[in-house]
Chain A
Amino acid sequence: MSKFFNKFLYAVLTIFMALTAIFFVIRLSPGDPVETVLGQRATQEEIIKLKTQLGLNLPLMSQYKVFLTGLAKGDLGKTIFGAKDVKGLLKERMKPTIVLAAVSVTLSASIGMFLGVLAGYKKNKGFDKFSRIISLFALSFPIFSLAPLLVLLFSIKLNLFPVSEWGDLKHLFLPILSLVIPLSAIIMRVTRNKYLEEANSQWVMVVKAKGMGEVSILLRILKVCLPTILNIVSIQLSVVIAGTMITETIFDIPGMGSLLFDGIQNRDYPIVQGVIIYSTVTYMLIYFIIDYVNEWIDPRTQS
């Protein structure tokens, strides 16, 4: 139990540091949101009035205090542009991003694991070599160069999917495909290598000698490989977050990524803070769940 407590404390500390860093960095970076809202011709009084209204006239440390007390009550403040409730805005924009990230991560994990085990099982045979070349290509087209090519092929040449709309299942296809291709290639490579490492180990030899069937050996090896694969997934998660941001801007998806990008461009502090809070907390949560699942699957990972 004290171990759990330690980890929890660690997570809270990390999230707190992330929040503090984001709070100060975005306020210290040049650019003033009030000027952007009011435009160039605003009078001094108007500027001061809006600043007082938003609480931006206070010294930095008092602003920080206000921010933290608000956060403790679960209040994320209002946006500077349009004075919308940040929490409501985030709830609205969360769905596309979560759908995008969750579907592409699960799909990539299943495809990557399946192909990886298959490639490891048929080591140095035709399929293994073929999959190596395919994964090399998949890893060499970054998302923003892959996505235009996919649009060219599927939307313009074959006319199968619309270019940039949101709402239908059909519109999910291209964004998810552009996220799944590189991610599944990485997971496939890791799975293949880990599978080979385990398949050559002594315990597999013993189980084989005792006459266990091929399929049950395969399943056991897979179970041992699972923690490594889950670790890679958790590391890749921050890549996926960045990836969804780019995919959302490419395909005009109204998600958290595009919200964050606009927030940074306009210096809309509460939006940026809100998105960061949500993404760090989610990330930490998944990170810890994976950690516990790993220990549960393979107690050896407990260190």
Chain B
Amino acid sequence: MSRKLTKEMKWGGGILSLYAIWALCWFVYRYFLKGSIGQPYVPTLDMQTELALPFSKGLFLGADLLGRSLLEVLSAGLTYSLTISIIVTFATASIGIFMGYMAVKGPNWVKLGFDLLINLIFIFPSILIAIMIMAVTGQSMKGLIFALIVTGWTGYAKIARGESKRVLALTYVEGARAIGIGEIRLFFRIIIPAILPVMIVNMVLGISGVIISEASLGFLGLGASPYSWGAMLGAAKTVLLEAPHIAMILSLTMAGLIIGLNLLGDGLRDYLDPNEN
């Protein structure tokens, strides 16, 4: 294989590593420099610096509505949103692969039930399902993650169903069956490696989807943390006239992360797609 890394992958990877370094710096700052592991640092409120502009009052990006340093609040939001999106993406992808495979291999009633369930989740606006779940579980991190998993797995399941169908028809699967491979071994040793490339591309693109869903919930006042970028944008919207820089910085930071993920995902897709070359 002498395929070259695409330009998009390099750009996407570059942007994402910047964000990763940022998150790491914040982690060290929070747990080791300013605070300790037992008592992590929390951005302090300060009436004096309320809505301060960037580069004023000793604050690099200015301050938010409560006078907290915008840079610190943004960093807290970054680690929060990365944590949630990575957990949710892994969980949804695993569930999706399993369910998608079962929809191909399982008995007829599983197939029918799968179709109905997917349609049901699809026609409900996902925000609504999330709101319902959050209402039952309360506004906690656990509830939020659960809500995002419930609404998120169907996309992966659809892709996994299509891919499993394609792979199961290939000759080497038939060969493996002919020499008497067990069902579980077939799934883990043959199906999963075969559908993984497609799933990884979709997972990279899916992370940005989860970041957006989480932020939309936060925006509607249903987030699990005051540092959710969506919640902060919702607050920034109310002071759009007085302090437009808050909304601008927040939007651009979030867009940068999503651009990085989308570039990497698109690049990976081109890189792994045998039809392109």
Q: Which residues of A contact B (CB under 8 A)?
A: 13-14, 17-18, 21-22, 25-26, 28-31, 136-137, 139-146, 148-149, 151-152, 156, 235, 238, 241-242, 245-246, 249-250, 260-261, 264, 276, 279-280, 283-284, 287
Chain B residues in 8 Å Cβ range of A249: 220
Q: Which residue of B123, B136, B247, B248 is within 8 Å of A30 (Cβ)? A: B136
Q: Does B237 contact A (CB under 8 A)?
A: yes
- List B100-140 residues whose CB lies under 8 Å from chain A: 116, 119-120, 122-128, 131-132, 135-136, 138
11 residue pairs of the A-B complex, CB under 8 angstroms, read A14-B119, A14-B120, A29-B136, A140-B255, A142-B216, A142-B254, A151-B240, A152-B247, A242-B125, A264-B132, A276-B124
What separation, in Å, do the CA atoms of A245 and B216 have in the docked complex?
A: 10
Q: Is the CB of B135 within 8 A of A29?
A: yes
Q: Is the CB of A17 within 8 A of B120?
A: yes
What separation, in Å, do the CA atoms of A235 and B247 have in the docked complex?
A: 30
Return the 6 tightest CB-CB contacts between A and B, nearest first.
Answer: A145-B251, A29-B135, A140-B258, A144-B219, A148-B247, A140-B255
Q: Is the CB of B135 within 8 A of A14?
A: no
What separation, in Å, do the CA atoms of A68 and B148 have in the docked complex?
A: 30
What separation, in Å, do the CA atoms of A235 and B248 have in the docked complex?
A: 30
What separation, in Å, do the CA atoms of A235 and B26 have in the docked complex?
A: 38
What separation, in Å, do the CA atoms of A42 and B17 have in the docked complex?
A: 58
User: Are A31 and B135 CB-contacts (below 8 A) given A14-B119, A144-B215, A145-B250?
Assistant: yes
Q: Which residue of A17, A140, A148, A260 is within 8 Å of B236 (Cβ)? A: A148
User: Are A264 and B125 CB-contacts (below 8 A) given A148-B247, A149-B251, A242-B216?
Assistant: no
Interface of A is mostly: helix
Q: Does B197 contact A (CB under 8 A)?
A: no
Q: Is the CB of B136 within 8 A of A25?
A: yes
Q: Is the CB of B262 within 8 A of A148?
A: no
Q: Which residue of B125, B132, B212, B233 is within 8 Å of A241 (Cβ)? A: B125
Contact string, B243-254, partner A, CB cutoff 8 A, digits 1/0?
010011011001
- List B224-270 residues whose CB lies under 8 Å from chain A: 230, 233-234, 236-237, 240-241, 244, 247-248, 250-251, 254-256, 258-259, 262-263, 266
What separation, in Å, do the CA atoms of A242 and B131 have in the docked complex?
A: 12
Q: Is the CB of A14 within 8 A of B132?
A: no
